[in-house]
Chain A
Amino acid sequence: MKIRGILKNKYLLTGAGMTFIILFAALLSVFWTPYSTTAMSISERFAAPSPRHLFGTDNFGRDIFSRVMCGIGSTVLISFMIVAISATAGILIGAFTGYFGGILDEIVMRITDAINGFPSILLALVVISILGPGRHNLIVSLGIAFVPSYVRIVRGEFIRLRDADYIMRAKLMGVSKLRILFVHILPNIFSTFWVSVMIGFNNGILAESGMSYLGIGVQPPDATLGNMLSDAQGYLTRAPWYAIAPGLTIVWIVLGFSIFSEGVRREAERKGQYDKG
C-alpha cells in the first residue's frame, strides 16, 4: 500500500532516478573513470563526441566524460559540505536565539537580517578575498554565506514551539534546557528544515559552479563542473561540446534534486505530516 503510493508519486520517482545516476557517477569516479582525467593526448585534441569519447575531448585531448564524472564528485561533495557546515551552524544559532530570546537574539537577528539581504555569492566573494581562492576556502566561505538562511527558519520554528503545551510540561518535569532544545523541539522542526536543506543543496551546487567558473573556487587541474565551463568558453567555436557537457550536467543535478525534493514535499503532504508540525 505504502510502496504503491510512493510509486505513484512521479516527482519522487523521476527525481530519485536522476539523483541516483549522479551519485552513482560520483561514487564510480572515485574508483574508475573510462580514461585518466589528466592524461593528455595531442593527437586527439577537440575530438567530437563519439562512442570512443562519449562527450568528446578538450583542448589537451583529455576525455571530457571522465572529467565530468570527477567534476560531479567534487561539486556534489563540496555542496554537501557547504550544507553540512551552514545547516549545523544554523541549527545551533537558531535554536539558542529562538528559544532563549533576549538581547543576544536581537543582535544575532540584526546581523542575519543584514547578511540575508546580501547576495550569498557576494558574501562568499568577500570571504574568499580575505582567505584567498581555493577549494577549502570556497567551502568555508559558502558555508558561512548560507548560515543566515537556516538561522532564520530554525529560529522561527523554535519560537513557534517554545510555548507549546508539551514543552511547558517538559519544563515542569524538570527536563534540562539542552534536552528540550535538541530532543523535544528539534525533531519536530525536521520537516520544515528538510525543505530548506534541499534548497540549500541546490544553491550550493549553483554557487560552487559559479565561483569556480569565476576562477576563485576550485583551481585547475582539479576538475569541477564550474572550472571546466570556464576553460571551455575559450574554445566555444572549436569545441562547443566542451562547454555543453559540464553545463548540462549542472542542470541535470539541480533539476533532479529539485524534482526529488518536490516529490518528498508532496509525499509528506500526502501523509499529512505538515499539519502535525
Chain B
Amino acid sequence: MRYLLKKIMTLSVTLFLVSVAAFIAFQIIPGDVVGSILGTEATPEREEELRHELMLDRPPVERYFHWLFNVVKGNLGVSYRYSKNMNEMMPVKELIGDKLPVTLSLAALSILFIIAVSIPLGVLWARSKSRALDAALSVLTQVSMAIPAFFIGILMTYLFGIALKLFSPGAYVSYHKDFKGFITYLIFPAISIAIPKIGMTARFLRNSMLTEIKSDYVRTAYSKGCSERRVMYGHVLKNALMPVITFLGMIIAEIVAGSIVIEQVFSLPGIGRLLISSISTRDFPVVEILILYITFVVIFVYFTVDILYRVIDPRISGK
C-alpha cells in the first residue's frame, strides 16, 4: 500500500514536471498568436481583447497555473489554428475527442497482434530442436526488426491495397458509422506496427525460456515425473513470461509513438496526424495537451506493468 502511494506520488510529480517543461518550452518560441487567429486586418482593440481573453497579457507563472487548473477541470483550452475568430474558438477537447479512439484502437489492436503471434512463436522457437527452423526464425526475426514500420505500411498498401484490392488506400470509415468497417481499416496499420515488435518479443521470449530451461527447478520437475508439456507450460513459460511483461510494457510506449508515423502512412485521422500537423503549424495548445496526454498514457502503462509484476510474482515486494 505504501509502495502504491509512493508510486502514485512519483507518477504525479513526473506528469507535473512534463507539463511545466512543455509549458516553458512553448513560451520561449517566438510568434504572434493573436495575429494568426485574427488575420492582419484586425484592429488593435480587437487584438488587445483577444490577448486578454487568451490571458496572454498575464505573467507566465499565472498563466501556467490557470492553464493547469483548467486542464485538471477538463477544460483543455482552444486551438490557435482552428480558431477562426473570437466567436468561433475551436476547443482542443473537441479537436482531440474523436481522434483519440482511433489511435487507442490502433495501439490496442497492435498489442493484441503482438501478444497473439509472438508468444506462440517464441514458445515454438524455444522448444524446437530443428536447426532449420531455428535458422529460419533467426533470420526472419532479424529482418523484421530491421524494417521500419512505415515501410511495412507502404508495402502493405501496395500489396493488399493496390495489387490485391483488399482495402482502398487512404480511405477510412468512422467508428460512429460502422465499427466493423473501422476495425478492418485498422488491421493493416496494426500489422505494420506489430511486425517489428513481434520479431523482438519472440526473440526475447525464446532467450528467456532457454535461460529458464537450464535452471534447477526444471530438472526437479522432470524428476518428479512431470511431462514435458507440463514442465514447459506450467513451469518454464510461467517464469519466462515475467521479463516479457516488462518488455511489453516498454514496447507500448514505442507502439504509441509508432502509431503516429503509421497514421500518416494510412491517412488515419488519429492524434498522431493531429500532432504532426499541429507541430508544423505551431498550434501549441494542441501540442501541449497531446504531449501531456501521451506522457500520461506512457507513465500509466509503466505503472500498471509495475503493479502487475508484483501481483504475478510475490517474490518482489515493496521495500
Contacts and interface: CB of A to CB of B under 8 A. Distances in A.
Interface of A: 110, 113-114, 117-122, 125-126, 128-130, 133, 202, 206, 209-210, 213-216, 229, 232-233, 236-237, 240, 243-244, 247, 250-251, 254-255, 258-259
Contacts of A110: 14
A107 to B, nearest CB: 11
23 contacts: A118-B253, A118-B294, A121-B261, A122-B256, A122-B260, A125-B260, A125-B279, A129-B282, A130-B26, A130-B29, A206-B148, A215-B276, A229-B151, A232-B154, A233-B157, A236-B162, A236-B169, A243-B155, A250-B146, A250-B151, A251-B148, A255-B146, A259-B142
A158 to B, nearest CB: 23
B25 interface: yes
Contacts of A247: 147-148, 151, 154-155
Contacts of B284: 129
B193 to A, nearest CB: 12
Report whether over half of chain A's contact residues are helix, strand or loop; otherwise say mixed. Answer: helix
Interface stretch (B37-45, B49-57, B295-303): B295-303
B188 interface: no
B124 interface: no
Contact of B302 (A117, A250, A251): A117
Contacts of A114: 14, 17-18
Contacts, number: 107
Contacts of B276: 125, 214-216
A209 B260 contact: no
A125 B275 contact: yes
A122 B14 CA distance: 17
Interface string B275-317: 1100110101001000100110011001000000000000000
Contacts of B22: 126
A141 B261 CA distance: 17
Nearest to B10: A110
Contacts of B299: 117
Interface residues of B, number: 43
Interface string B31-71: 00000000000000000000000000000000000000000
Interface in B246-282: 253-254, 256-257, 260-261, 264-265, 275-276, 279-280, 282
A114 B26 CA distance: 19
Nearest to A207: B148
A258 B148 CA distance: 14
B28 interface: yes
A121 B162 contact: no
Contacts of A117: 253, 298-299, 302
Q: Which 9 A-B pairs have the closest CB atoms?
A: A119-B257, A255-B146, A254-B146, A129-B279, A247-B151, A121-B257, A119-B253, A114-B14, A122-B257
A129 B287 contact: yes
A130 B25 contact: yes
B28 A130 contact: yes
B80 interface: no
Nearest to B291: A126
A270 to B, nearest CB: 19
Nearest to B257: A119
Contacts of A251: 143, 146-148, 151
B277 to A, nearest CB: 10
A23 B253 CA distance: 32
A180 to B, nearest CB: 31
Given A243-B154, A258-B142, 10 more contacts: A122-B291, A125-B276, A126-B25, A130-B26, A210-B261, A233-B157, A236-B169, A243-B151, A247-B154, A254-B147
